Amino acid sequence: MSNRQAEIAAALDVVPPFADDAALNAEIERRKTFIKHVLKQSGLKVLVLGISGGVDSLTAGRLAQLAVEELRTETGDSAYRFIAVRLPHNAQHDEQDAQDSLKFIRADEDDTVNIAGAVNGLGEQVTHLQKLTDARRDFVVGNVKARIRMVAQFAIANANNGLVIGTDHAAEAVMGFFTKFGDGACDLAPLSGLVKNQVRAIARHLGAPQHLVMKTPTADLEELRPGKPDEEAHGVTYAEIDAFLHGEAVSDEAYATIVRTYDNTRHKRELPLVP
């Protein structure tokens, strides 16, 4: 392990590889305990999470549902509950995966907010967007989608006196692969420190369908490239990112890409600059 690998892994609190099923089980219990602790400490009773159809939201959603079910049993308070929210932009091309995720999660409440009207309405008012090339506008509007989705989740959480869950984990954090003040904004991030294959391992252990566990990850924010794979945007594979974070050898090209991207996206992982 290089010094930079060790430094970055420590900064992101990367969880070591699971040694066996006992370690995997222990990590699942630790994550559920964390969710329960945050909720109890807040004095609130409701959790909210947007469900995309990918393995990250599926895993965080199932952990959240299990956590509130345990809280209801432990406290006798039926007010603890989890709301899973679908946030499509018009019709989502992988909607069936999202519906399969909801069936697996079995949330106390399912909700749907189509963000297209809000995104389009804002786009019509922001004249600066009209000056951009099609490709650049598509990218910027993609970030608008991510931010509107988080606005919707916080609105639902506020209406129910609840907290918003985020799905960021170490393999995304190292690449800055989230929208600042979009999906990067949340009250708690129960997958933090995990690499991608660990998220998949937890999902598989919880009984998630294999097609969702191994689904090709995509932020799916660009209209011109629907379903664009995360790995294409990264320039490296999740297997390489995971290996890097766990201190394993990777190619010189992958190493350079990960370190450069980590350094360039530092601002996303820090609080706003102040004097």
Instruction: For residue 218, say whether it is annotated as part of any ligand binding site.
Output: yes
Residues known to be catalytic: 56, 172
Report the C-alpha gap between 258 and 242 in whole angstroms.
Answer: 11
Instruction: Mention every residue, 6+ apart, whose C-beta is less than 8 A from residue 248.
Output: 1
CA distance 49 to 87: 10
What confidence score (pLDDT) does residue 176 get?
Answer: 95
Tell me, what's the pLDDT at 160? 98
pLDDT values of the chain reduced to their tens digit, one per residue, 275 residues? 789 999 999 999 999 999 999 999 999 999 999 999 999 999 999 999 999 999 999 999 999 999 999 999 999 999 999 999 999 999 888 899 999 999 999 999 999 999 999 999 999 999 999 899 999 999 999 999 999 999 999 999 999 999 999 999 999 999 999 999 999 999 999 999 999 999 999 999 999 999 999 999 887 788 888 878 888 889 999 999 999 999 999 999 999 999 999 999 999 999 999 99
Task: Collapse the DSSP code of 259 into the 3-class scheme (helix H, G, I; strand E, B; otherwise coil) and give the result.
Answer: helix
Q: What number of residues does the chain have?
A: 275
Strands 162-164 and 46-50: parallel
3-268 maps to CATH 3.40.50.620: yes
In this structure, the dihedral spanned by the alpha carbons of residues 268, 145, 218 and 139, taken in order and rounded to 10 degrees, is: -80
Determine the distance from the C-alpha atom of residue 165 to the mean position of all C-alpha atoms in its chain, rounded to a whole number.
9
Q: What is the DSSP letter of 85?
A: E
How far is Cα 242 from Cα 115, in angstroms, rounded to an integer? 33
CA proximity to 86, closest of 145, 149, 172, 177: 149
53 annotated ligand-binding residue:
yes
**Helices 238-245, 252-264: crossing angle, 10 deg rounding:** 80
∠ CA 132-133-138, nearest 5°, is 85
20 annotated to bind ligand: no
Joined together, the tokens standing for residue 12 give 């992101």
Q: Which residue type sits at 170?
A: A
Say what the pTM is.
Answer: 0.95
Residue ranges of domains in the chain: 3-268
How far CA 253 is from CA of 101, 174, 261, in Å, comes to 35, 16, 12
CA distance 95 to 45: 29
For position 267, what pLDDT does the model report?
95
pLDDT at 230: 87
Q: Is position 246 annotated in a ligand binding site? A: no
- Cβ of 60: how many Cβ atoms within 10 Å? 30
Cα–Cα distance measured from residue 223 to residue 142, given in angstroms and rounded to the nearest whole number: 8
56 in a labelled binding site: yes
pLDDT for 225 equals 82
Burial class (CB in 10 A: 0-12, 13-18, 19+), 247: middle
237 assigned ligand-binding residue: no
